[in-house]
Amino acid sequence: MANHKSALKRIRQTEKKTEINRYQHKTTRNAIRNLRAETDKKAAEASLPGISGMVDKLAKKNVIHKNKASNLKSRLTKFVAGL
């Protein structure tokens, strides 16, 4: 267990940020899954910019790697273009 006040505070902050990151990552994964299940091209095109922004935010905060974010956005764009 931590012995210093600063270490205890760091533990509290880390738990809070971990919870936020987990929520945002799961929300993004669900949005990607819903986009891949979409059959209507107009609806898919409308939701693609929002999902790309979500992926970019995760990469910016190092929740996912920047190359993974790039690959996800590329594959989703190709999927929407192919509908």
Domain boundaries, the chain: 5-82
HSE-up of residue 78 (Cα within 13 Å, Cβ side): 5
Q: Taking the C-alpha atoms of 52, 72, 41 and 31 in order, what is their torsion angle to the nearest 10 degrees?
A: -60
- Stretch 10-28: mean pLDDT: 96
- Residue 65 — very low, low, confident or very high, per pLDDT cuts 50/70/90? very high
The reply to whether CATH 3.30.9.10 applies to domain 5-82 is: no
Cα–Cα distance, 71 to 31 (Å, whole number) = 16
Contact 48, 76 (CB under 8 A): yes
- Stretch 28-44: mean pLDDT: 95
Tell me the pTM: 0.84
